[in-house]
Structure 1
């Protein structure tokens, strides 16, 4: 019986990763109904934010103004829009792998924002991630190993925003220790909604859905918002009960789900270069968890919290891991 109960948190994280790995498909359904990527990002994020605020309304009193909150909202907006727009318009697996270059960007951002010393191990993991991206993107016909279209650039930018969100979540938990995790989640969703709404002003709008299509699009938006918010809370349950290094590795299950769903629903089959480059990126992400497990972070004078910049943090007061900034 204990073994079964102990497996629920792991199952929660795997289910959360599965949702993230499949979310591109309903987003493409919205695009087919006439809802652009920017509009889909704005609407689903707004629905998720409202759901969190309604369910956790009493935790609003824990919010205090700080410049970190708009910074976190902006980073989350770039993360969400990059992932959504890229997965709608690009090859899903390539966009996701570019998105997952987080060890490289996290090492850089943590050095300047969290004042973490950039170790040889961190530099090596960053280099391994970038080498994987170069392997995946390079070909004699395309020349320089850079993203080949706007969707891939969006995935790359989204990954940089993801790394920045992770670092800012950790910084926020130290500077504002009384702010509940649910309000950080609401900040992330709210920032994504506002940023995407502003970006939609610069995107050509197709004919909006009408009639039955409008109803279907509305239900999809509400369903996705509810799903994303519930999924975030589900993953928080798992992260509170699973060691951070193990949780980070379990989250890589998202890449497996994405690869399978892209093959089944979009007919995308990665080639040898994509497999080789993706293996380097996944290995760097997995090793990053091990490095952060063995590295002791000095305490921050602004708070009792401590943790690592891989998007998971441990609060000394309750011993719980906090969630990454995945939108």
Structure 2
């Protein structure tokens, strides 16, 4: 450690201070980057579990339960800050819907198409923020909505299929997950304003509680009791299956803690841009691990959606609710 004002070590002090400062600035961004990478790869272990007999919804219930348990242990000192509020119920509902739909969509659908439909969040965020927060959409917001919807239409349109809407349940799940994620973002802003005493980590805890409860509520749509029994049998009879589920749940919880560190220190617009790295990881991993490619029209539409997300993060207007900056929990 150097001492300021030591002339003999002046250059070394400056260099060391600059290095320390650079590291301190880079660490939060790296934390969010790690989280985005995990989310971009999470589809693969869920598909592995599905092949081994643990369907998407039971797998989501299992991993969310593990994450909830670990977060309870890590954040146990903050549990006392929780307060009853319908806003937190809304966070739990929106978060649960996001996770269940995202896991189900990426397990059963084309990963990149599902993910790009999920990242229509600028559209939903602008609409929900206008409805719940009274924020004006404005010309910029309308332009971003048009760009994102135009990209989705270009990606989804096919002469033989008619209207450019999601073509299968997996794609519909991706779109629903994106809308729920946007609602979650907006509700988190309301919670931070209306319940400032509730710690940020408790908002994540509430969200994961919603993931567990939401998974049980929609389980009848994914095979019900039979699917649940099959999943329990697979988890109890195969050490490898149980290990993957446990490791995935622990990874999700650890990722949450890491991303919370980054989000507390990185501006919302910058965080939104870093989170888009998830799309890059998903594109590479789905091509490599699942041989899922995209045509030129789909790529062009996807680039429009990504551009809308990028612009929503870099355009001025700090009063606007950013597109995908909550990051409190995913998958």
Scaled by the length of structure 2, the TM-score of the pair is: 0.89
Larger Rg: 2
State the match for 1:304 in structure 2.
none
Which of the pair is proportionally richer in helix? 2
Aligned pair partner of 2:182 in 159, 163, 167: 163
State the match for 1:317 in structure 2.
none
Say which is worse superposed, 96-105 or 140-149, in terms of deviation.
140-149
Say which is worse superposed, 221-230 or 265-274, in terms of deviation.
221-230
Q: CA distance change for structure 1 residues 248 and 214 in 2, over 3 Å: closer, same or farther? A: same
Q: How does 1:142-221 map to 2 (within 5 A)?
A: 142-204=161-223, 205-206=226-227, 207-208=230-231, 209-210=233-234, 214-221=238-245
Specify the SS of the correspondent of 2:221.
coil
Aligned pair partner of 2:317 in 262, 274, 295: 295
Residues 312, 322 of structure 2: 8 Å contact kept: no
Measured in 2, the distance between the counterparts of 1:88 and 1:326 equals 15
Structure 2 residue runs of 5 or longer lacking an equivalent are 1-18
Q: By how many angstroms is 1:217 displaced? A: 2.3
1:76 lines up with 2:98 in the alignment = no
Measured in 2, the distance between the counterparts of 1:290 and 1:179 equals 29
Q: By how many angstroms is 1:269 displaced? A: 1.0
Say which is worse superposed, 20-29 or 211-220, in terms of deviation.
211-220
The size of the alignment, in residue pairs, is 307
Measured in 2, the distance between the counterparts of 1:211 and 1:246 equals 40
Say which is worse superposed, 36-45 or 205-214, in terms of deviation.
205-214
State the match for 1:102 in structure 2.
121
1:240 lines up with 2:264 in the alignment = yes
Specify the SS of the correspondent of 1:178.
coil
Residues 169, 325 of structure 1: 8 Å contact kept: no
Aligned pair partner of 1:310 in 292, 299, 323: 323
Specify the SS of the correspondent of 2:95.
helix
Specify the SS of the correspondent of 2:238.
helix
1:114 lines up with 2:133 in the alignment = yes
RMSD of aligned Cα (Å) = 1.6
State the match for 2:285 in structure 1.
261
Q: CA distance change for structure 1 residues 325 and 110 in 2, over 3 Å: closer, same or farther? A: farther
Scaled by the length of structure 1, the TM-score of the pair is: 0.90
State the match for 1:326 in structure 2.
330
Q: By how many angstroms is 1:202 displaced? A: 2.9
Measured in 2, the distance between the counterparts of 1:232 and 1:158 equals 18
1:270-324 CA-partner distances (Å, limit 9, x unpaired): 1111110100000000100123xx2143xxxxxxxxx734354xxxxxxxxx745
Q: CA distance change for structure 1 residues 255 and 82 in 2, over 3 Å: closer, same or farther? A: same
Q: By how many angstroms is 1:163 displaced? A: 0.5
Q: By how many angstroms is 1:35 displaced? A: 0.7
Aligned pair partner of 1:231 in 255, 259, 284: 255
Q: CA distance change for structure 1 residues 152 and 265 in 2, over 3 Å: closer, same or farther? A: same
Q: CA distance change for structure 1 residues 154 and 18 in 2, over 3 Å: closer, same or farther? A: same
Measured in 2, the distance between the counterparts of 1:249 and 1:203 equals 34
Measured in 1, the distance between the counterparts of 2:211 and 2:235 equals 28
Residues 129, 321 of structure 2: 8 Å contact kept: no
State the match for 1:140 in structure 2.
159
1:221-275 CA-partner distances (Å, limit 9, x unpaired): 2211111111011111122222221221111110000000001000011111111
